[in-house]
A and B are shown apart, each in its own frame.
Chain A
Amino acid sequence: MAAVTNSWATKGGPGVVAIAFWALLALLPFGERFVAEGSFDYYLFMGQAMLINAIAILGLNLLIGFNGQISLGHSAFFAVGAYTAAILMNFAGWPYWATLPIAAIVCFVAGYLFGFPALKLEGHYLALATFTLAIAVPQLLKYKPIGKWTGGVGGLLLDKPEAPEWTGLGQDQFLYYLCLIVSILSFWAVRNLLRGRGGRAMMAIRDHAMAAGTMGIDTARYKTVTFGISAGITGISGALSAITVAFVAPDSFTLQLAVSFLVGLVVGGIASLPGCLIGGAFIVLIQNSSQSISDWMKSTFSLRYDVPAWAIYGVLLIALMYFMPRGIMGGIEAVFQRLTTRRERQP
């Protein structure tokens, strides 16, 4: 697997495809005329959610896919990013855009520091440690002594930023572009990181830590810094989520969120950048589609019970893992490879 995806990340790769794809995403807000009146803003809102999830998964992917460290606790960094933005906007009166870099820095530091104990732990033990983080952060947010800042169990309500007048955009259009620009910057930065010396070192550590060490790579430093960068990227997405949802509360950052990031990562494809986008979209779409399938089953077979949407979700996930055990991008690449080799065989 690594060989396939690494070739994409390190070589020239389909840069044209990527640019075309991002351009397409940028044109989406002009599709308003094709959609029933009034609901377009909702689709843009869903688009924002997808992009935000994609950035969070990108952060997670850097850690799991490219550095081989597991985390079940990225919801914690997402929460820290969201609260950083919320607190700065609410108490210090900062403009929304200025909170993004701060959220990234705060989360980088948190992740970097967490990277040190993580050095000692591997596999399942690291999974537990990060799991703890995911459980601890919502409890800490509710903790009385800091309740003045976090809003305690009630959370913090924010003002949604309006689009600047010169843009002539609606609020949701504007926020969509905000998410899109941040996504492009994050993906671009990660792509460059992976192609440089640092990225190669990260992947070498994933593939064989000891060999990497003997080649002179400071594995401890790279692992902690990677943890920091990963947390920082996820923190940015958390801040974006606080801005677009305009509300943060401890209940928003449960273990389920961490699990959904992991599911999105695996479904999209581990160690694949386009996979992050697919995973982000998947998280948002799957629940609604499970619900529709459930409704459809109920009306078609005139059932007495509702078929629970989450059971359908589970079945869909297992089916997906059957057909594409390496995620959707892994599946696409496998098909692509088979096609190209077949062509080579018939000269």
Chain B
Amino acid sequence: MKLTRRSVLAGASIAILSGRAHAAGKYSPGASDTEIKIGQTMPYSGNASAYGVAGRNQAAYFRMLNETQGGINGRKINFISLDDGYSPPKTVELTRQLVERDQVLIDFYPLGTQCNTAIQKYLNQKKVPQLFVASGASKWGKPKEFPWTIGWQPDYHTEGVIYAKHLKANVKDPKIAILRQNDDMGNDYLDGFYEGLGEDGKKLIVADATYEVTDPTVDSQILQLRNSGANTFFNVTTPKFAAQAIKKVAEIGWKPNHYLVAVAASLGAVIRPAGFDNAQGIITSQFLKDVTDPRWDNDEDVKVWRKFMADWNPTANVMEGSNVSSYVVIKGLEHVLRKCGDDLTRENIMRQAASIKDLELPLMLPGIKVNTSPTNFYPINQLRMAKLEGEHWVVFGETMSRDAV
């Protein structure tokens, strides 16, 4: 990154301008005229360490903001992202460190359902925003009980409903086999799926196999599922196991209607290692653009994103889906903070986060919009179905949302 004289001057003038603007700011702990402190817990180690990509990418983004634009509204971002190893007690300890010792303004995009459950009560008692939770559980949108917690991505439950609806409309005489991770993600998807199938849905499910994240392979489970005589496969897995399952299904010559959850639909982290040949026709749902698709090569937002990745996070794998989702959510945060202006109190941040109207963020699919209100704490609840054709996801059908299904 070369700094030219002009960009330095530009940066300085922005700082001066905004410096004048926020003379009379209102602040909660963690915010001041010069700085905004943002905390986060992430699994950089342990079984879920693959998700740590998100935290690293966001650190790179804040670094970029600080060095090229002098932060947000003239305030530098001080981003503290800590490793909780995906262990809830550690999350509690680190979150208390962030709130009480480091005095962060907000807890942004903390990752993991159990980890977030462990800190939700505490953050709400302390009135610290638990902003845009990185978990697809459906429990983050309860403003009455937890006014300081707000979700972000479309929840697993809704997604499960969407697959079930699509399946009922398109698969003749379905016999369904499910492979799912034995945790809350697996349960949420399953609940939604049951709901979507309706009354007699349970009868359609002929096999339901679980695995643990510590299992070396899911080969045995896939054989069990095939043996059940199912013609439809609902694949509720995390990336590594999704790749294993896709490969094994192809290897044993099983050709079911294959539904793959969005969590594991990354082209770079799942489909490519599993082999594109093995994955043709798989159906998933998306709300973000597939940045590896040449169709988007001339898309302005995708170009900006690629440039950002090349300049600021060059060691990251651009095929990894987390690098996109973590970028989009940070754009959402940037929107909220800019809206807050000089009133950087925690109350105002929650107020702004709960009054987003039809916001279109870069890298979201056309038709997907962010919407919140004091009673709606599910910022993104729209999805579009997509099918793997060749080396890319091809989006089809209408935009589906929580209310529609």
Contacts and interface: CB of A to CB of B under 8 A. Distances in A.
- Direct A–B contact in complex, judged by CB atoms less than 8 Å apart: yes
B45 A310 contact: yes
Interface in B85-101: 85-90, 92-93, 96-97, 99-101
Contact of B114 (A49, A155, A291): A155
Contact of B83 (A40, A45, A142, A309): A309
A155 B88 contact: yes
A304 interface: yes
A142 B183 CA distance: 8
B97 A154 contact: no
A251 B96 contact: no
A309 B87 CA distance: 16
Given A41-B100, A42-B97, A249-B117, A139 B89 contact: no
B212 interface: yes
Interface in B58-115: 82-83, 85-90, 92-93, 96-97, 99-101, 103, 113-115
A14 interface: no
A270 B88 CA distance: 29
B338 interface: no
B93 A256 contact: no
Interface string A228-247: 00000000000001000111
B87 A256 contact: yes
A251 B88 contact: yes
Contacts of A43: 101
A28 interface: no
Given A46-B93, A157-B117, A139 B83 contact: no
Interface residues of B, number: 36
Nearest to A46: B93
Interface in A108-145: 135, 139, 142
A291 B83 contact: yes
B320 to A, nearest CB: 17
A39 B103 CA distance: 8
Contacts of A249: 88, 114, 117-118
Interface residues of A, number: 38
A65 interface: no
Contact of A247 (B46, B92, B101, B187): B92
A322 to B, nearest CB: 24
A312 to B, nearest CB: 12
A257 B315 CA distance: 32
A254 interface: yes
B121 A42 contact: no
B46 to A, nearest CB: 7
B3 to A, nearest CB: 16
B117 A39 contact: no
A251 B183 CA distance: 10
Contacts of A142: 182-183
Contacts of A288: 97
B89 A152 contact: no
B100 to A, nearest CB: 4
A38 B103 contact: yes
A252 B89 contact: yes
B360 interface: no
A323 interface: no
Given A154-B117, A247-B88, A291 B93 contact: no
A305 interface: yes
Interface string B9-53: 000000000000000000001000000000000001110000000
A251 B244 CA distance: 23
A122 B397 CA distance: 63
Nearest to B139: A154
A38 B99 CA distance: 9
B48 to A, nearest CB: 9
A45 B93 contact: yes
Given A135-B214, A246-B121, A249-B117, A153 B183 contact: yes
Contacts of A284: 93
Interface string A175-200: 00000000000000000000000000
A256 B103 contact: no
A155 B115 CA distance: 11
B184 interface: yes
Interface string B288-320: 000000000000000000000000000100000
Contacts of B118: 155, 245, 247, 249
A90 B85 CA distance: 27
Nearest to A246: B121
Interface string A70-90: 000000000000000000000
A36 B97 CA distance: 13
Contacts of A135: 214
B50 to A, nearest CB: 14
A252 B115 CA distance: 9
Contacts of B92: 245, 247
Given A155-B117, A157-B117, A42 B100 contact: yes
A247 B103 contact: no
A80 to B, nearest CB: 16
Contacts of B29: 38
A244 to B, nearest CB: 9
Contacts of B114: 153-155, 249, 251-252
A241 B118 CA distance: 13
Nearest to A40: B100
Contacts of A308: 44-45
A251 B182 contact: no
Among A38, A49, A252, which residue has the most Cβ atoms of chain B within 10 A?
A: A252
Contact of A38 (B100, B187, B214): B100
A304 B315 contact: yes
A261 to B, nearest CB: 13
A287 B99 CA distance: 18
Contacts of B99: 42
6 contacts: A152-B187, A154-B187, A155-B118, A247-B88, A254-B87, A288-B97
Given A42-B101, A153-B187, 18 more contacts: A38-B100, A39-B100, A40-B100, A42-B99, A43-B101, A49-B89, A142-B183, A154-B184, A155-B117, A157-B121, A249-B117, A251-B86, A252-B87, A252-B89, A257-B87, A287-B83, A287-B90, A310-B45
Interface of B: 29, 44-46, 56, 82-83, 85-90, 92-93, 96-97, 99-101, 103, 113-115, 117-118, 121-122, 182-184, 186-187, 212, 214, 315
Interface of A: 36, 38-43, 45-46, 49, 135, 139, 142, 152-155, 157, 241, 245-247, 249, 251-252, 254, 256-257, 284, 287-288, 291, 304-306, 308-310
